[in-house]
Amino acid sequence: MKEELQAIESEALAAVEKAEDSQALQEMKVKYLGKKGSLTTVLRGMGKLSKEERPVIGELANNVRASITEALDAKTEKLEREALDKQLETETIDVTLPGNPIHVGGRHLLTSIMEEIEDLFIGMGYEVKEGPEVETDYYNFEKLNLPKNHPARDMQDTFFITNELLLRTQTSPVQARTMEAYQGNRPIKMICPGKVYRRDTDDATHSHQFRQIEGLVVDKNITLSDLKGTLDVFAKKMFGKDRKIRLRPSFFPFTEPSVEMDVSCKVCNGEGCSVCKQTGWIEILGGGMVHPRVLEMSGYDSTVYSGFAFGMGQERIAMLKYGVNDIRHFYTNDVRFLSQYHQA
């Protein structure tokens, strides 16, 4: 039996050395060490040995098993290493080549403008209010001193859902709702950004939907000079510290007196050019003192309280600040255009 074990060891070690793949090694493991393998078959005859021979043969059998197992493991590791080396050789990567770029998005220019304006007014003590885009005729028009059949409604022709429901033409209804909620006995200092709708023909400067930011301040002893000072701070923050503003008389049904605000042209510094149509000024927004009737309809005593309101289009501010010449660029989702302003 001793000679048989030694013969099995010699045969197994020689076979392992010649093996060329892992499948062959697995077959050898089964052949020599499996339940029906050569070593197991020989060991079944140990019952015929004397008590003195059994320990010697048992130790030898264990050594043979360990020797074959060690050879199998070493050969397996060698074959795996050789396979890896071959794979690395055939799949060589040139680490000096540039990788595939990861395209990272950024804020939309209108979002950046909105956040910049919000941050400015929040720093001045304003609250940010929001309201529904599907609005009632009452809050969108009547509550703002625009009764039914009022001719000024023609300037804000919109999309009606029913006779009383419509897509809001301005964010002013948020102001009306806020004044009504405060029941005429609390000061107000707020801005209301949001999407609005007009039945306009889309072109380079008009869109059937756009974004607007309006502001409202109501308190005791509010004057037109407070409005001018606020808008002056806004203009210098958005367009540069050297910008000047001017207020021109205008008309809005919900303010009296009403004004249009112009800012000095930053291209020609007020000297006159094609951008400002040789005037030196560019129209930015409208505003005025809140009409006493609007205050009264929301429960405010117009003999005690006064206020100012203003409104601007985000797209117009962005176009003037960054030199965008077509409002449609904001909505056509052309990444080539939008990516220019990710750091705005």
Binding site per annotation, positions:
256
Q: How far apart are CA 298 and CA 276, in angstroms?
A: 39
Tokens of 245: 């503003």
Q: How far is CA 140 from CA 81, 175, 309, in A?
A: 77, 10, 15
Q: How far is CA 131 from CA 89, 99, 123, 189, in A?
A: 65, 47, 22, 16
Query: Alpha helix (H) ranges present in 2-131?
Result: 2-18, 22-33, 38-43, 53-90, 109-123
| Binding-site annotation, residues for Mg(2+) | 256
Q: How far apart are CA 182 and CA 307, in angstroms?
A: 14
For 280, residues 6+ apart whose C-beta sits below 8 A from its C-beta are 264, 265, 268, 270, 271, 272
